[in-house]
Amino acid sequence: MPTPLTTVRRRAPRGRYDRAVVDAILDEGTVCHVALTSEGGPVVLPTGYVRIGDELVVHGAVANALMRQAADGRPLCIAVTLLDGLVLARSTFKHSMNYRSVVVFGRARVVEGDEKAAALARFVDHIAPGRSGEARAANDSELRATLVLAVRMDEVSAKVRTGPPLDDEDDLPLPVWAGVVPLGTVVGRPQPDPALSRDVRVPPSVERLVSRSGPAAPGGR
């Protein structure tokens, strides 16, 4: 029963991946999982991120102990996973998933100054393109309360599974349905903040998010 865990190749040497594939996955994802080793062992936590050039950028409160640990130069591992479908085979063993995933190994540098403010703007633009031009920018005290970390993608690998199940030839005559059930993300109707004044219209950033949405295409994503 092959799964991502069994097949992701660890620490592919630089260049042993298609950077366009890596970037497309990172630019489509919304949440990453950041792992580090703390006193008691490994810790993995979900958080937002944005890719800026060759770096994956995450952020959190300065007050957060794990963020401070992540900032101290220790090794980090970050995964972004997009689930595209369930792969139903004739045998239990050959069930799988279609997915696209990226795993990055690296250490963080702390982002400061103008680059820090720019990174926070990129951060909101990653979840809603154009949003940084609509919202109030972070002020100095907000910037001071935030730790922005950039991890260079020196070691990165992408893994992609697509296509139908791969049953054993002996199983093909079984009268068992086999195929792929595609999965996708759908965007619901925007819910205005109850405190929002009625004369504030839905902005272009939100309109774009909604129009981008749709059910998984019959041919997959």
Within 63-102, which residues bind a copy of itself (CB under 8 A)? 63-67, 74-79, 81, 83, 85-86, 88-93, 95, 97, 99, 101
Write out the binding residues for a copy of itself, residues 171-210 only, by CB under 8 A.
Answer: 171-197, 199-203, 205-206, 209-210
* Minimum gap (Å) between residue 168 Cβ and a copy of itself: 9
Site map 115..134 versus a copy of itself, x via CB under 8 A: -----xx-xx--xx--xx-x
* Minimum gap (Å) between residue 37 Cβ and a copy of itself: 5
By the 8 A CB rule, do 33 and 79 touch?
yes
By C-beta, is 52 or 91 nearer to a copy of itself? 91
By C-beta, is 110 or 187 nearer to a copy of itself? 187
By C-beta, is 24 or 45 nearer to a copy of itself? 45
By the 8 A CB rule, do 80 and 102 touch?
yes
By the 8 A CB rule, do 96 and 165 touch?
yes
Site map 11..50 versus a copy of itself, x via CB under 8 A: x------------------xx-xxxxxx-xxxxxxxxx--
Measuring CA to CA, how many Å separate 16 from each of 13, 106, 141, 212?
A: 6, 16, 42, 32
Write out the binding residues for a copy of itself, residues 137-176 only, by CB under 8 A.
Answer: 137-139, 142, 146, 164-165, 167, 171-176
List, as one string, the DSSP characters of 8-48: PPTTPPTTSS-HHHHHHHHHH--EEEEEEEETTEEEEEEEE
- Pick from 58, 150, 153, 158 the residue near a copy of itself by CB under 8 A: 58
The C-alpha atoms of residue 159 and residue 22 are separated, in whole angstroms, by 9
By CB under 8 A, the count of residues binding a copy of itself is: 118
The single residue listed with the structure tokens 């774009």 is: 208
By C-beta, is 53 or 164 nearer to a copy of itself? 164
Q: Give the residue from 72, 43, 70 showing the smallest Cα distance to 56.
A: 70
Burial bucket for residue 149 (CB in 10 Å: 0-12, 13-18, 19+): buried
- Pick from 51, 60, 111, 150 the residue near a copy of itself by CB under 8 A: 60
* Minimum gap (Å) between residue 15 Cβ and a copy of itself: 19
The C-alpha atoms of residue 1 and residue 140 are separated, in whole angstroms, by 52
